[in-house]
Amino acid sequence: MSDSSQIRIMIVEDHFVVREGLKSIVNSQRDMVTVAEVGNGRQAMEAFEQHQPDVTLMDVRIPGLNGIDAISGIVAKFPNAHVIVLSTYGGDENIFRAFQAGAMAYFLKDIKGQDLVDAIRAVHAGQRVVTSEIASQLAGRVPLTALSPREVEILTLVAKGKSNKEIATELAISEGTVRVHASNLLSKLRCSGRAQAVSEAIRRGIIEVE
């Protein structure tokens, strides 16, 4: 049960231990209460509509619909939604897309409990919270406008260990075309080889590998 003076919070996190930890931090505060907890993006959108929490704590990489797409869906229907992203991943593209989707703050999961509750109060009050670390990541971001959807697609398949021939077969294009795209994406990512390109793309949040 919550009263009108408490900040009503929804937690979107697929790992039980992390979810319980967040719930413990939230519920230890007199002015906060957890009103919903779910483990994937679809559930997040449904639960938001049902509970309309004051603040949502959202993981980025969750099953099914990812966190960023869930934020976009929620904000499209509820423009005043207050969402804080909590993620294991600090890649600049993850951060950029989260804010672009409508998040008001982005933190890594090693955030201290007190910093988190302070951020919840600030976001509830309508403030955006951008730490110096996150601001630095955004400032150093290399825009992805030059990377085509096909290049991202090929990079994802390279990350899965596919050969040029396998990629060509899967995408119904020639091996030569695959090589051209691969060469272009290496240039755009400023990497000397495919392994480095994959590592850089994962670090920045350009691609995700299960």
Instruction: Break the chain into its structural domains and give their ranges.
Output: 7-139, 149-204
- Of 205 and 6, the structure prediction assigns the larger pLDDT to 6
Q: What is the four-CA torsion angle of 184, 188, 190, 193, rounded to 10 degrees?
A: -30
User: Which helix (H) or strand (E) is 83 found in, with range?
Assistant: strand 83-87
pTM for the whole structure: 0.72
Average pLDDT over residues 47-61: 95
User: Is the CB of residue 184 less than 8 Å from the CB of residue 158?
Assistant: no
Average pLDDT over residues 179-183: 90
Q: For position 49, what pLDDT does the model report?
A: 95
Tell me if the domain spanning 7-139 has CATH number 3.40.50.2300.
yes
Q: For position 193, what pLDDT does the model report?
A: 87
Fold for the domain defined by 149-204: Arc Repressor Mutant, subunit A (1.10.10)
Residue 7's Cβ-side half-sphere holds a number of Cα atoms within 13 Å equal to 26
User: Is the CB of residue 174 less than 8 Å from the CB of residue 168?
Assistant: yes
User: Is the CB of residue 67 less than 8 Å from the CB of residue 85?
Assistant: yes
- Of 1 and 106, the structure prediction assigns the larger pLDDT to 106
- pLDDT exceeds cutoff 80 at 90: no
